Amino acid sequence: MERQGDGTCIKKGPWTAEEDEVLLNYVNEHGPRDWSSIRSKGLLPRTGKSCRLRWVNKLRPNLKTGCKFSAEEERVVIELQAHFGNKWAKIATYLSGRTDNDVKNFWSTRRKRLERILQTSPPNSQQNKGKDPVFHELPILEVPACGFTAMQEGSPSGKNQCLPLYPESSEEYKMMGLPGLVRSNSQTLEADLPALETISMQMVRPFESVSDCPFSQPQLDLSLIPECEELAIEPCDLNFLDMFKQAEHLEAETGPKSVTSIPPMGLKDNAFNAKQGGAEAPPSPDSFFDDFSPEMFDYLEPLPSSSGL
């Protein structure tokens, strides 16, 4: 309990069943609003904020409480995070029964795990001396941002298209990741929102089989955003290729079971090798995604739930 200036006490910490009941009764009677009046009326010694949070995250109807993220949900979160950034509330609206807190927790747990996995990897090659560790860029590496665009087969243009992304800040750019720099022609994000709705629909009705999963059918028609082309090459040098070299090195040392035995994220061998040689032109945009497949997620994190698809 914490005493306020007005003499009243504010309770913090875990909610009791009795408090939940009071809160539910209040919402049933008044609707999910006027949270502050719950305290002012003396119904609960909780702030309006705390009440709202409790209702949104636990008491609201149709929540998937105690239910782990399915493989499809994971993929959707990954895709949407690549496009929206850390807009958890927005992402949550595309996942039936999930709250922003759920998505946020899911993502941070995932990120922590990835960081830890890579931290246990041997030190980077000389190329990384004096640079931030590669794992700082992890969210980039795990997000093949164009994967879900393959489901836009019914788009008006009749083509599968990548959502356009124009990073306005370096932070946005970092969050987005290289694949997000690739897009087709002049489409707006708003124009692609129906496609996102499709994702939501898919989440409500889980894919019947692997072959139904739109993520497994990448047919991309992509081109680089001209103004970002230069930027796109940079992270490739700094991160992707470092990762690939690391992976290659580690695989030689520890065998293919190593967690860092990383497939080259859709880079075709020729593109990868050309880049390694350093003399050739950067890989073509298409070559980044020709090999995209759902398995590309799996090196980062096994998806136990996906095995049962």
Partner DNA sequence: AAAGGCGACAACCGCAGGCCG
Partner DNA sequence: ACGGCCTGCGGTTGTCGCCTT
Residues that bind DNA (CB under 7 A): 11-15, 32-37, 40, 46, 48-50, 52-54, 57-58, 65-68, 86-90, 100-102, 104-106, 108-110, 112-113, 116
Nearest to 292 by CA among 75, 111, 147, 161: 147
Shortest Å distance, C-beta 301 to DNA? 9
Question: What distance in Å separates the CA atoms of residue 1 and residue 240, rounded to the nearest whole number?
Answer: 51
Shortest Å distance, C-beta 167 to DNA? 15
Tell me the two tokens of residue 210: 């692997």
Residue pair 192/152 in contact (Cβ under 8 Å)? The answer is yes
Nearest to 47 by CA among 37, 57, 56, 55: 37
**Integer angstrom CA distances of residue 195 from 186, 192, 200, 221:** 16, 5, 9, 16
Tell me the two tokens of residue 206: 């889980």
* Nearest CB to DNA, comparing residues 100 and 229: 100
Beta bridge partners of 183: 223
Alpha helices by DSSP H, listed for 31-70, are 36-40, 48-54
Helix 71-84 × helix 189-204 angle, to 10°: 170
Question: What distance in Å separates the CA atoms of residue 110 and residue 130, rounded to the nearest whole number?
Answer: 27
Shortest Å distance, C-beta 224 to DNA? 27
Shortest Å distance, C-beta 124 to DNA? 20
- Other Cβ atoms less than 10 A from the Cβ of 29: the count is 7
Shortest Å distance, C-beta 108 to DNA? 5
SS3 182: strand
Beta-strand ranges (E) seen in the chain are 2-3, 9-10, 182-183, 223-224
CB-side exposure of 174: number of CA atoms within 13 Å? 9
Shortest Å distance, C-beta 193 to DNA? 16
Shortest Å distance, C-beta 92 to DNA? 7
